[in-house]
Structure 1
Amino acid sequence: MMLALGTSLSALGGSPAFAQQGQAAIPSIHLDIPRQPLSAALQAFSRRTGIQVVYTASIDAGIISPGISGDFDAMTALSRLLSGTGVTFRQSGKGAVVLAKASANITLGPVRVGGTVAHENPTGPGVGYVATSTMAGTKTDTPIMEIPNSIYVVTKQLMQDQQPQNVAQALRYSPGIMAESEGTYGNGSAHGADTGIIQRGFSTSQFVDGLMTNSVSAGETAFLERIEVVNGPASVMYGQTTPGGMLAMSLKKPTDTPLRQVSIGFGNCGRYQATFDISDKITKSGNVRYRIAAIGVTQGTQTNYVDYHRVGVMPSITWDIDKNTSLTLLGMYMYTPGEGVASQYPRIGTLSPGPYGQISRSTFFGEPNWNKMGDKDAMFEYQFKHSFNKYINFSQNFRWENSDRHQETTYVKTGAVKPTIVPLQPMDYYTNTRTIGMDARFFGKFNIESVNNTWVIGSDFRKYNYNSHYLYDYTTTPSVNVDNPSYSYTPCYSWAHAGCQIMGSLYNTQYFQEGVYFQDQIKWKRLSILVGGRQDWVNMKYTGDSTSSNQNVNNVKTTQDYLSTDKPQPQSAFTWRAGIIYNFDFGLAPYFSYATSFIPQIGQTDYQGHPFAPLTGKQMEAGLKYKVPNKDILLTAAAFHIEEDNYLISDLAHTGYSTNAGRVRSQGFELSANANITKDLRLIASYSYTDIRYAKTNKTAKRYDLNTSSSYGTAVSQEGMSVPYVPRNMFSFFVDYTIHFGKLKGFGINFGTRYTGFTYADSVESFKTRPYVLFDAGAHYDFGQAFSVLKGLNAQLAMSNLANTYYETQCSNSVCYLGQGRRVYGNLTYNW
């Protein structure tokens, strides 16, 4: 069988061994070829490069190419396409190659061709468990080894092997991340301030395609190409981010070659899921391409009366206007009538012994007839790119988002500690969030003798509008008996009903943020220096009032303006960063960096309605990165020290409000390993140590006695105490092995373990939550490896918390959050 498409290219290398000897510069070409049968991948390769590929039918039978995405010279691209397939190649004359079966001990991986190394797409899926380039850290296409701070990538392959159902689950093995601090109390989409995701001791910030998002469904894993974890301040390039870091996600976009994939899945708790992902060209030349990804899922959860339902679609179009200009349009609509958000649990019966033993995870602490939690999300985005010349380029990203949420729910009353009866608070609320964001930047490269400069100058803005309507029913106090749950709550939310005692609140939060930034990446030989700065301006406005209706005063309504800052509240700050890293020729790269952060406390006021000062932080980080020469193995170590001022904690004297705790300090270190050891074996591992404390504060609090469920003694200072809910130690390890020979060819298994240490439960270290160890496992099978007629069909099985361990992720004096029990999910995927 022979493929001979396109025209021949001159100055080509040969086989990998031959190509390493070449010295002439070889041109690169951008390729985006997804995972697919080898024959289809080779056809796409030939069309794009003009290389003639010759092979026998036996080589093609049942073999799947891992695909590639990025800028490559022709021979490196072919090596990547053949990686892990057991097939090698040799040059056969000018512009042609011949494929052959590799011997059993040959592993094809990244190779050096003509003096250059394969370059991956910095927003693409990565290769195996390793990504070597990123856009997240610098907004430029930069090798991770040349960036002087911590960046970790969750690749597409890792998500495929672990089958996470949300962003939080996808981050379980990432260094410095406490991914599920609120257990099953949250849908894991990492939106806004309610993420439940902790990064180096602080709540995280979420960005999609370079723009901040508040969408509940922005982190749908079925629509993601990869997730990047940027640990440490990123305010210089992105504006309002916490000093702990940010999550950068890349949405799926049209591919250069056809992609056709459908999947059906099933799991415990009655989970059924279907997805499809299709991409192809619209015009004959392929300069206009489309992609449509969609998901539908329905399931119960480990908690009675709590269900999760979602349907969504994300179409996109890319138009290569000319060789220097491209435009990508994306849209998304997501309907989630059931969020799958579990209730909180009382501390007695979970962390502390209860009179009826341990409370089952299935117990629902709410009211089934007042249990509605749903969202509607819509998004439009465009990405425009233009290259003026080899020195100057332009890029602009824009996104509009609208999110509606309605919840009729009850929650466990804080401070209510009873061994058998759990009192609840009913509420009804609706929120609408609209955001508009845009980032525009010029960037390019220039050289001054032997010094290379990669520069960026840009500006961005974000407009945010948040409206909410809350109703609390104080007519009765519903409750749940721990030993024998029964539900009989009847809502009473009518202002006209004389028997209803209601408190309602309406408020609106608006802000407009704009910033200008610059950055220069200076490289001289093996030394890289990064410097950057940013000026931010923010205008904020809050308005609100509360209304109450009291049955004891003949249903007289009283209205109070509890928050009113009709005049905009301006804030501004300058943030900067600098770093240095040196790459030794044997793969080691030590680095040091310093960065500052700024984030206004939008919508946050004290009990008197006064806005808080913005959060300002700074970090020093030193570390080592080691890329094993000629191997897909990346090892990192990082030590950090972070300080943040105006940190907020709960106001113990005024329930429902916050107070300024002063300064907190977080310090620790992280170790990580990402490796494609052979074509058969991949692994990731990490260890994180985080010690976060109140460094400077005048706040005091009494300690709490679990046995008496009450405070005792005199108030003690919080200064020097640990910040609650942050584990001191975390460790994780995950390995995947695929068999490429014998009767089990195409079969793979994986195994992982996660350790999370204790956390303190209050601000004066009164008591701790327990540490826990969880085990995960999975298997996958490529049917096409054994049966050519089933080429493209794959099966996947993922199991988390194998031992069904019962654990608390976070506790306070009165309530706890429980972690996810055993989860089993399998799917069948067909690619053609």
Structure 2
Amino acid sequence: MFLPSRLSTPVFTSIALSSLLPAAHAQQVDDSATLAPITVKSSAQQEPVGYVAQDSVTATKTDTPIIEIPQSISVITEDQIREQGAQTLNQVLRYTSGVAPETRGAVASRLDQFNIRGFSATTLLDGMRIFGSRDALPQVDAYRLQRVDVLKGPSSVMFGQGGPGGVVNQISKRPTRERLNEVELQLGDRHYRRANVDFSGAVDQDEQWLYRLTGSVYKADGQIRETREERYFIAPALTWQPSADTRLTLLANFQRDPHMGSYGSLPGIRTRFDAPDGIRLDPDFYDGDADFETSDRRHQSIGYDFEHRFNPTVTVRSQARYLHAEGIYRSVYSSGYLPGSTDYRYLARRKGGTDVTMDSYTLDNHIQGRFATGALDHTVVAGFDFAHLQSDTLASSFDPAPPLDIFNPDYRQPIGPVNWTSKTNQRQYQTGLYLQDQIQIDKWSLLLGGRYDWSRTVSEARNLKNGVVTPSSTRATAFTGRVGLIYNFDNGLAPYFSYAESFEPQSGTDAQDRPFDPLRGQQYELGIKYQPPGTRALYSAALFDIRRQNMLTTIAGCVGSKCQEQTGEVRTQGLELEARSEFNNGLSLIANYSYIANEYTKDNASPNRPSMEGMTPYGIPKHQASVWARYQLQSGPLSGLGMAAGLRYRGTSYGGSHNDFKVPASTLVDMALDYDLGRASPTLKGMDLALNVSNLFNTRNISSCTSQDWCWYGYQRSVKASLRYRW
């Protein structure tokens, strides 16, 4: 049952009758002898109210009920994003099973660095990959999003090259028929100020033309002293729908991030370990230089999403996006203490920088057909996608910079200009053909998929010191497959099994000058989902085994430049539990637990380096858990008051290349309050007041350490208050 305070997002294309029914009635439809047919809908349709999503297009590119998808998927709804006060993708993912967000803590706010099931993940926007280098990353602001889908495990069949951890699909806000006018003002600690606007509705009386205009500006001091954050974006969208069978949406975004914190680190001594004097560095300690620090990014994109249904059997969809991004990066960063230091007072530092320009084109076309062969109902998707990235990177050497006295830091020293050493032009191409069949017979759902990819990377690097130009070219082809089987019982239980593959191209050649094969990922997953009839709840459990193979290792005893082979492997075995529920009494609940055992299972030893076998990569906690509960008063003088609290536990992880030490576990508490002021006075109708506090007790925590010289503190307490007006 929908909670009274939640506002649904209206739909604007044809929807199957069963999806329009309340939850209890929809379940009665599902209780018939044959499951409800799968229909194609845009990613903007049937947006969930509350915390429980019913459908997802990310897993199969068809709008399939989550309870029928034989693979683990989590959906973070717009309500959850807003009520938890999330601003970045890392913050959006804080309460998601299997995800370890903010691997570099509060330092790397300019980047979306996280892992899923122990591996890095591919980031998508509206189902298409977001390309970008580190310093020109087109980061998506959370206010632009109406939901985020996290598909766990290898996903190359649908999206091409990528790691075995999974994909995160960020879905943009779309135009709505219903008039929407929203203005929001936010204030917080560290001089945080933000203004958001969101307008949507029909342009004409026949409602064939719909628009949406979303924008935001914010400024704040970073958690790291002497740093600041600043962002401006505007995202217009226009939908043309001449009939119930045809829809075209144009999506654009213009964004600039003039300042985005720092990208440094701190040594393990005085963060993870005590120095002889017992003094530790504060979480806001800055290792850089305020006058030299630069992170200026801007990007613009425009794209379309087209869908046409010829008849109840055949539907075609086409998506494309062009994106241009630029980034200017300059940084002074710590490289540990000065050699031979015994008082651990002076940080050795280096300086560097890049100028990056990037253009990317992505295209995805597919056709869907629905038909029956005897007792089997088929939903077949056949598609073609293409991606092209061209980037120009001007890079400097990493030269020594003046040391920093941690007890008397001078953040405005004469640093001097960067030393430009190379200019690289790179072009990447990916082309893929994919075919998928979702087969239903009675309460069984079988998912079969296959894809073939062609990948090519061409680069030309110019040494600016001697003028030498070094060209390189890498080609790779790969077939990836997926199979899954799920059975939907009448009582809401749905056990499933799946197998999925991924691939990632690699550059370079072996000792025989043969190009390296792509990295390959394979996952076996056994799980169960449970959706009690007549409720807005979804519970899931999954066991999984993932292997990442063809990793590069050093040939023992080899001398020269051709000393690598592909014998390495990393394996993850784990368990995920997730619960999402909306109760009729005003209580909403999200709870998660993840167990991830990630280690190198194959590696070569060399005279200068022991084998990594049995070691765990840094920054991957074995145990994680979280719970978020929100309760809204349903009666009394404070009716409409929402109160929420969250608990996030991150277990210990390893630091150092050979698990040299442990990074301690941490438990953080979040809280939120929100109130509909219209309940107190009719003159305040449409106004909402909210307060969000993350890390309520200001618990000092370390996100991860790669070595004794590189550690990162996590976020400290953050307080934000917002006033939103809707009319």
Tell me if both proteins adopt one fold, taking TM over 0.5 as the criterion.
yes
Contact 1:123-1:135 at 8 Å conserved across structures? no
Contact 2:71-2:525 at 8 Å conserved across structures? yes
Please give the alpha-carbon distance, in whole angstroms, between the structure 2 residues aligned to 1:414 and 1:430.
Answer: 26
Gap change, CA 1:272 and 1:261, over 3 Å in 2? same
Please give the alpha-carbon distance, in whole angstroms, between the structure 2 residues aligned to 1:727 and 1:546.
Answer: 41
Please give the alpha-carbon distance, in whole angstroms, between the structure 1 residues aligned to 2:550 and 2:322.
Answer: 31
What SS class does the counterpart of residue 79 from structure 2 fall into?
A: helix
Contact 2:569-2:603 at 8 Å conserved across structures? yes
2:391 is matched with: 466
List aligned pairs for 1:581-592, cutoff 5 A.
581-592=486-497
Contact 1:76-1:111 at 8 Å conserved across structures? no
2:481 is matched with: 576
* 1:617 is the counterpart of 2:524: no
Matched AA of 1:268 = D
* 1:437 is the counterpart of 2:358: no
1:564 to 460, 463, 471: 471
* 1:198 is the counterpart of 2:198: no
Deviation at 1:629, TM superposition (A): 1.1
Contact 1:664-1:694 at 8 Å conserved across structures? yes
Please give the alpha-carbon distance, in whole angstroms, between the structure 1 residues aligned to 2:678 and 2:474.
Answer: 62
Deviation at 1:679, TM superposition (A): 4.6
Gap change, CA 1:608 and 1:518, over 3 Å in 2? closer
* 1:457 is the counterpart of 2:457: no
2:588 is matched with: 682
1:645 is matched with: 549
Please give the alpha-carbon distance, in whole angstroms, between the structure 1 residues aligned to 2:290 and 2:110.
Answer: 23
Deviation at 1:605, TM superposition (A): 8.8
1:111 is matched with: 25
Please give the alpha-carbon distance, in whole angstroms, between the structure 2 residues aligned to 1:727 and 1:608.
Answer: 39
1:795 is matched with: 689
Please give the alpha-carbon distance, in whole angstroms, between the structure 2 residues aligned to 1:352 and 1:281.
Answer: 60
2:451 to 534, 545, 566: 534
Please give the alpha-carbon distance, in whole angstroms, between the structure 1 residues aligned to 2:438 and 2:240.
Answer: 30
* 1:519 is the counterpart of 2:436: yes
Please give the alpha-carbon distance, in whole angstroms, between the structure 2 residues aligned to 1:438 and 1:800.
Answer: 39
Please give the alpha-carbon distance, in whole angstroms, between the structure 1 residues aligned to 2:511 and 2:230.
Answer: 38
Please give the alpha-carbon distance, in whole angstroms, between the structure 2 residues aligned to 1:761 and 1:716.
Answer: 16
2:711 to 807, 812, 816: 816
Deviation at 1:503, TM superposition (A): 5.3
1:555 is matched with: none
Please give the alpha-carbon distance, in whole angstroms, between the structure 2 residues aligned to 1:521 and 1:722.
Answer: 37
1:348 is matched with: 269
CA distances 1:613-672 after superposition (whole Å, capped 9, x unpaired):
4211111000010111110111100011111113368999999x9996711111111000
1:364 is matched with: 286
Gap change, CA 1:732 and 1:113, over 3 Å in 2? closer
* 1:663 is the counterpart of 2:569: yes
2:335 is matched with: 413
Please give the alpha-carbon distance, in whole angstroms, between the structure 1 residues aligned to 2:214 and 2:509.
Answer: 41
Please give the alpha-carbon distance, in whole angstroms, between the structure 2 residues aligned to 1:724 and 1:794.
Answer: 42
2:630 is matched with: 736
What SS class does the counterpart of residue 94 from structure 2 fall into?
A: coil
* 1:164 is the counterpart of 2:86: yes
1:766 is matched with: 660
Please give the alpha-carbon distance, in whole angstroms, between the structure 2 residues aligned to 1:644 and 1:347.
Answer: 30
Contact 2:555-2:604 at 8 Å conserved across structures? no
Gap change, CA 1:121 and 1:559, over 3 Å in 2? closer
Please give the alpha-carbon distance, in whole angstroms, between the structure 2 residues aligned to 1:790 and 1:694.
Answer: 59
Q: Which moved more, 1:574-583 or 1:115-124?
A: 115-124
Please give the alpha-carbon distance, in whole angstroms, between the structure 1 residues aligned to 2:88 and 2:162.
Answer: 22
List aligned pairs for 1:294-305, cutoff 5 A.
294-305=215-226
Gap change, CA 1:378 and 1:649, over 3 Å in 2? farther
List aligned pairs for 1:493-512, cutoff 5 A.
493=417, 502=419, 504-512=421-429
Q: Which moved more, 1:633-642 or 1:343-352?
A: 343-352
List aligned pairs for 1:85-484, cutoff 5 A.
110-112=24-26, 115=29, 123-124=44-45, 125-187=47-109, 189-190=111-112, 196-214=113-131, 216-354=137-275, 355=277, 357-413=279-335, 418=341, 419-472=344-397, 474=399, 477-484=401-408
Matched AA of 1:820 = Y
What SS class does the counterpart of residue 717 from structure 1 fall into?
A: coil
Please give the alpha-carbon distance, in whole angstroms, between the structure 2 residues aligned to 1:758 and 1:607.
Answer: 39
Q: Which moved more, 1:716-725 or 1:158-167?
A: 716-725
Deviation at 1:675, TM superposition (A): 0.5
- Which of structures 1 and 2 has the larger relative contact order (alpha carbons within 8 angstroms, sep 6+)? 2
Gap change, CA 1:275 and 1:199, over 3 Å in 2? same
Please give the alpha-carbon distance, in whole angstroms, between the structure 1 residues aligned to 2:204 and 2:554.
Answer: 58
What SS class does the counterpart of residue 639 from structure 2 fall into?
A: coil
Contact 2:589-2:628 at 8 Å conserved across structures? yes
2:503 is matched with: 598
Contact 2:6-2:50 at 8 Å conserved across structures? no
* Alignment length (residue pairs): 706
Please give the alpha-carbon distance, in whole angstroms, between the structure 2 residues aligned to 1:75 and 1:564.
Answer: 57
What SS class does the counterpart of residue 678 from structure 2 fall into?
A: helix
CA distances 1:108-138 after superposition (whole Å, capped 9, x unpaired):
x653498479999754531211001000000
Unpaired runs of 5+ residues, structure 1, are 1-15, 17-34, 39-62, 81-108, 191-195, 495-501, 549-557, 703-714
1:96 is matched with: none
2:673 is matched with: 779
1:487 is matched with: 411
Contact 2:179-2:200 at 8 Å conserved across structures? yes
Gap change, CA 1:605 and 1:359, over 3 Å in 2? farther
Deviation at 1:186, TM superposition (A): 1.9
What SS class does the counterpart of residue 490 from structure 1 fall into?
A: coil
Give the alignment's TM-score, normalised by structure 2. 0.91
CA distances 1:671-692 after superposition (whole Å, capped 9, x unpaired):
0001102250001010011111
What SS class does the counterpart of residue 492 from structure 1 fall into?
A: coil
Please give the alpha-carbon distance, in whole angstroms, between the structure 1 residues aligned to 2:513 and 2:657.
Answer: 24
Gap change, CA 1:254 and 1:679, over 3 Å in 2? farther
Please give the alpha-carbon distance, in whole angstroms, between the structure 2 residues aligned to 1:390 and 1:508.
Answer: 47
Deviation at 1:408, TM superposition (A): 1.7
Please give the alpha-carbon distance, in whole angstroms, between the structure 2 residues aligned to 1:824 and 1:660.
Answer: 48
1:693 to 599, 609, 617: 599
Please give the alpha-carbon distance, in whole angstroms, between the structure 2 residues aligned to 1:607 and 1:411.
Answer: 36
Deviation at 1:441, TM superposition (A): 0.2
1:10 is matched with: none
* 1:830 is the counterpart of 2:711: no
Give the alignment's TM-score, normalised by structure 1. 0.80
Deviation at 1:448, TM superposition (A): 2.5
Structure label with greater radius of gyration = 1
Deviation at 1:762, TM superposition (A): 2.5
Unpaired runs of 5+ residues, structure 2, are none
Please give the alpha-carbon distance, in whole angstroms, between the structure 2 residues aligned to 1:478 and 1:605.
Answer: 39
